[in-house]
Amino acid sequence: MQLPLYQIDAFTDRLFGGNPACVMPLQEWLPDGLLLEIARENAVAETAFFIPQGDGFALRWFTPEIEMDLCGHATLAAAHAIRTIHAYNGDTLHFHSRSGLLKVTFEGERYALSFPSRKPAPATLPVEIAESLDRMPVAVLKARDYVLVYNTETDIRQIQINRQLLDRINLDPGGVVVTAPGEDCDFVSRYFTPQASIFEDPVTGSAHCSLIPYWRERLHKTELLARQLSDRGGTLYCTDEGATVKMAGYARTYFTGTCEVPGNQ
Residue (of 64, 100, 58) closest to 201 by Cα position = 64
Architecture of the structural domain at 2-114+249-260? Roll (3.10)
Q: Using alpha carbons only, how large is the chain's radius of gyration in Å? A: 18
**Average pLDDT for 137-153:** 98
Q: Is the separation of the CB atoms in 62 and 35 below 8 Å?
A: yes
Q: pLDDT tier at 263 (50, 70, 90 boundaries)?
A: confident
Instruction: Evaluate if residue 172 carries a pLDDT over 90.
Output: no
Helix (H, G, I), strand (E, B) or coil at 237: strand
Q: Catalytic pick from 46, 109, 200, 223?
A: 46
Topology classification of domain 121-240: Diaminopimelate Epimerase; Chain A, domain 1 (3.10.310)
Residue 46: active-site member: yes
For the entire predicted model, the pTM comes to: 0.93
Torsion angle defined by CA atoms of residues 76, 215, 224 and 17, in that order, rounded to the nearest 10 degrees: -40
Q: pLDDT tier at 264 (50, 70, 90 boundaries)?
A: low
**Average pLDDT for 230-256:** 97
Instruction: Evaluate if residue 265 carries a pLDDT over 60.
Output: no
Cα distance between residue 85 and residue 81, in whole Å? 5
Task: State the span(s) of the chain assigned CATH 3.10.310.10.
Answer: 2-114+249-260, 121-240
